[in-house]
Structure 1
Amino acid sequence: MTFTRLLGTTVLASMLALPALAADYTMRISHQWSPSLPTARLLDTFAKTVEDETGGRIDVQIFPAMQLYKADQQHAAVAQGEIEATVITDFMMGGTVPEMVVSLVPFLVRDEAKVRAYPSSEAAKILEDKLRSRLVEPIGWMVESRNVLFTSNNRPLSAPGAFQGVKIRGLTPLYDKGLAALGAMPTAMPAAEIYQALQTGIIDATVTSTSGALGRKFFEVQKYGVVAPGISFAKNVFLVNPGWWQDLPQDIRAVMTRAAGVMWTTSVEENMDPLADPAIEGLKKNGMEVTVLDDSRTAALAAVMAPPVMKAFAGMGKDAARVIDLSRAE
């Protein structure tokens, strides 16, 4: 091992081993979002609320932007007790709990009442039980996005026919089946490579979130942005180490549960009206021509995308069909 690597390992170990000062308990939360993004801000508020309402008995330490672990390493870090908590997008857990990728089925959960009630739904309970079998305890949910943004250069991707022959950076193998049904040519690519690939023409377009496109400055290399409201229901799940959770006093757990509930309510309100999304205005101010589709045009995209995605999802886990049915019915 080189001296640089040894030093980096030592620093990381020191960060993880630091005791809480003047606190009885420590909660280290690792996540993937940059501090300016909505999920990161929600977690900052959660930390302040928990510390204030417990009188400083718990020290909440947040490590954003994958400072400690890559996004796909955080579940294991919590399960193994290396850290106490993480927040991770539900479909990123698909390799561990296949049914978690149900959020990628286009236009599945559209009713506002169903969105608001999701944490208490039967579908959520099934997924939470499956997460517990993977050695983590889910203590809350947050809406990541109910919309997707299709960016492009040659023409706005606002109707099924516009996708024909477009080289697009996809989302996941499951979601990409829907893009292929539209006639696009999806390709997998690390997020860090997207900007250059768009700039050099390796790909023509990408599917992302409005805040992701703004933060990564896709407006510099993409002329058009098309927002499809309600076409997804991506959620972030708040996971903690079960042993650590059980060792906490009941009153502290109650404070955390209430604070997590506030994060859900806040995230729902922030994502309910796409026209109020500040990232859309940010993209427009930076020169991107942004179109927000109405319900009928979003439904036209979903009508093509959903069947192959749903068919593939149905075979992804023994409870996949049940989760689909419950998501529709609740």
Structure 2
Amino acid sequence: MTITRLARATAIAALFGGTALTGTAFSTAAMAADWTMRISHQWSPGLPTAKLLDGFEKTVEEKSGGRLDVQIFPAMQLYKADQQHAAVAQGLIEATVMPDFTMGGTVPEMVVSLIPFLVRDEASVRAFPSSKVAELLEEKLRARMVEPIGWTVESRSLLITSNGRPLSEPDAFKGVKIRGLNPLYDKGLAALGATPTAMPAAEIYQALQTGIIDATVTGTTGALGRKFYEVQEYGVVAPGISFAKNVFLVNPGWWQDLPDDIRRIITDATDEMWTTSVEANLDPRADPAIKGLETAGMKMTVLDDAQSAALAQVMAPPVMSAFSEMGRDARRVVDLSRAE
């Protein structure tokens, strides 16, 4: 069960003090359980991935008959996004769920998800967890002292917001000051003629409002939540422009100490998360955030296949070239992604 505010505060204090959680740091249910699974993640409650984990918690606790207590710490309550991996590897917490591309500093090949339009067909998306690409990436993660037990789809599309004109074709990007994603992905934006810049998410609204930047690349949910429709007239959804995934990581020692039936309950629940996330991201037009942005006044466009192909032709080559230099198996990851 999700721990109470008091228990959460005690847990945080204990973790940052470097001691194990004991006594009142656990809820009554946790004290009665045979095992505890603390999951730290970066998403605010109510966002899709946070909701998936809430469902995971309920499923695992019910199917384990209360033998496993799942405690979820959302919105970086325990650790910042770049600290989650180390916390799991060191055994300070049992698990985390992280965007794959944020692991690029540890496993460079993980940023393959940022290559524009690399994976677009439904069959390849559905089959990813059992693919050769996933097998290779999971092997590399294990070498970094964590055990990958599952994946979820974060997004298969991105939203490009702007004023004056929609950024729906390559020529429209010329001269546009745009907040990008990261140095790798931004090579694709630069190839379109835009001037990408790095900027914390919290600063984007004001930068758009004051004209420091003209446009941004973001997610539909993020644009709706941050009210970008107040300062941006157009929104262009590009289906298949990314295949951003989240990886579910656990501490290897904790994982091996679990009995087989508890591990099976957990992996079955992570498989359910994958299936749910795939279904939610197959059709970008079904994204409720798009309707929300339209209702709020943003003029929305969902690119068709021809428009997507035009962007891919310009964006993909420089990003692909840079990615191929990022790790010893980078080229192999690309080839496997294309083949599957």
Q: Same fold (TM over 0.5)?
A: yes
2:333 is matched with which residue: 312, 323, 328?
323
Q: Which residue of 2 aligns with 1:196?
A: 206
Counterpart of 1:252 in 2: which secondary structure? helix
Q: How big is the shift at 1:11?
A: 6.6
Q: How big is the shift at 1:193?
A: 1.2
Q: Which residue of 2 aligns with 1:138?
A: 148
Structure 1 segment 41-120 matched on structure 2, within 5 A: 41-120=51-130
Q: Which residue of 2 aligns with 1:205?
A: 215
Does residue 1:164 correspond to 2:185, yes or no? no
Distance in 2 of aligned mates of 1:64 and 1:10: 16
Distance in 2 of aligned mates of 1:271 and 1:316: 28
TM-score, length basis structure 2: 0.93
Distance in 2 of aligned mates of 1:74 and 1:242: 15
Q: Which residue of 2 aligns with 1:37?
A: 47
Counterpart of 1:232 in 2: which secondary structure? strand
Q: Which residue of 1 aligns with 2:254?
A: 244
Q: Residue deviations 1:88-146, cap 9 Å, x none?
A: 11111000000000001111111110100000000100000000001111000000000
Counterpart of 1:96 in 2: which secondary structure? coil
Structure 1 segment 283-298 matched on structure 2, within 5 A: 283-298=293-308
Distance in 2 of aligned mates of 1:213 and 1:130: 33
Q: Residue deviations 1:4-44, cap 9 Å, x none?
A: xxxx9977224772232211111111111111111110000
Distance in 1 of aligned mates of 2:266 and 2:309: 38
Does residue 1:182 correspond to 2:216, yes or no? no
TM-score, length basis structure 1: 0.95
Please, which moves more after superposition, 75-84 or 318-327? 75-84
Q: Residue deviations 1:22-73, cap 9 Å, x none?
A: 1111111111111111111000000000000000111101111111111111
Distance in 1 of aligned mates of 2:278 and 2:107: 24
The amino acid of 2:85's aligned partner reads H
Change (3 A) 1:255 1:320: same
Q: Residue deviations 1:168-201, cap 9 Å, x none?
A: 1110100000000000100111111111111111
Distance in 2 of aligned mates of 1:230 and 1:171: 16
Counterpart of 2:159 in 1: which secondary structure? strand
Give the aligned length.
323
Does residue 1:12 correspond to 2:12, yes or no? yes
Structure 1 segment 267-282 matched on structure 2, within 5 A: 267-282=277-292
The amino acid of 1:256's aligned partner reads I
2:36 is matched with which residue: 26, 34, 37?
26
Q: Which residue of 1 aligns with 2:4?
A: none
Q: Which residue of 2 aligns with 1:259?
A: 269
The amino acid of 2:36's aligned partner reads T
Distance in 2 of aligned mates of 1:73 and 1:60: 20
Distance in 2 of aligned mates of 1:253 and 1:204: 49
Distance in 1 of aligned mates of 2:10 and 2:279: 42
The amino acid of 1:42's aligned partner reads L
Change (3 A) 1:11 1:236: closer
Distance in 1 of aligned mates of 2:252 and 2:94: 9
The amino acid of 2:334's aligned partner reads I
Counterpart of 2:245 in 1: which secondary structure? strand
Q: Which residue of 1 aligns with 2:160?
A: 150
Q: Residue deviations 1:288-319, cap 9 Å, x none?
A: 11100101101111110000000000000000
Q: Which residue of 2 aligns with 1:4?
A: none
The amino acid of 1:49's aligned partner reads T
Distance in 2 of aligned mates of 1:199 and 1:78: 39
Unmatched 5+ stretches in structure 2: 1-7
Question: What fraction of aligned residue pairs are identical, expressed as a percent?
Answer: 77
Q: Residue deviations 1:128-166, cap 9 Å, x none?
A: 000000111100000000001001112111000111111
